Amino acid sequence: MKTSRSVEQRSTGSRGWLVAIQTILALAFLIALIRSNRGRLLNRLRAFNKRYTNPRVLKFAERRKSPYAVLQHAGRRSGSIYTTPVVADFVPRLNRFIIPLPYGEGTDWCRNVMATGRCTLTKSKVTYTLVEPSIIEASDVLADLPAQLQGMLRFLGLKKFLQLRIETSAPSARTIDLVSALER
């Protein structure tokens, strides 16, 4: 009996290694596939996020501990106001907000902000009016970001950021509504 258990344990252990090796090979294949078809995959991911993920993220993007912020921008042709969830961080060294551009500079919201020269960003219940947008290299700011975010952005192969200067800031409208409701 002891012999059969040890053989069983050995075979289970070797299966574990086999599964680990298969998983590593599958991940390597997936990474190679992503890198070779990066443009097509990013376009599909962007379309999926725009339709399904973004509306759900907007529901909690303005919360205090959320990594997301809500960006409001005017359409460059229509003038309509659009709302987009983004990951935004304030970099004290630059005295500016930076927003990663995982899909590049060609996204509608980035082109809108660049064309109008301004936007509104709500993060942690504070609304900022941001001006002077410019595109910068990731290498200029990655060291200023939290370590977890750095790793993720490097893994994604991020190359560009949008940086914006703060013109004004105020508590967000939702915060003001809550304060006025509490005062009644």
For the packed helices 2-36 and 38-48, what is the interaxial angle rounded to 10 degrees? 90
Task: Assign 177 a pLDDT band (cuts: 50, 70, 90).
Answer: very low
Q: Which residues, at least 6 apart from 177, have a Cβ–Cβ distance to it below 8 Å?
A: none
Which structure tokens are listed for 35? 């890198």
Query: Rounded CA gap, 163 and 161, in Å?
Result: 6
Phi, psi of 83 (to 5 degrees): -120, 130
What residue ranges do the domains of the chain occupy? 60-183
Kindly report the average pLDDT of the chain as a whole number: 77
Place of tokens 């973004």: 54
Q: Which residues, at least 6 apart from 144, have a Cβ–Cβ distance to it below 8 Å?
A: 91, 92, 93, 94
Which structure tokens are listed for 79? 């003038």
Q: What is the DSSP string of 77-102?
A: TT--EEEEEEE-EEETTTTEEEEE-T
Q: What is the DSSP string of 125-158?
A: TEEEEEEEEEEEEGGGTGGGS-HHHHHHHHHTT-
Task: Assign 45 a pLDDT band (cuts: 50, 70, 90).
Answer: confident
* Entry pTM: 0.69
The CATH class of the 60-183 domain is: mainly beta
Place of tokens 């992503």: 34
User: What tens digit of pLDDT does each residue of 78-116 get?
Assistant: 989 999 999 888 888 888 999 998 888 888 999 999 999
User: What tens digit of pLDDT does each residue of 10-38 get?
Assistant: 444 445 565 666 666 666 655 665 565 56
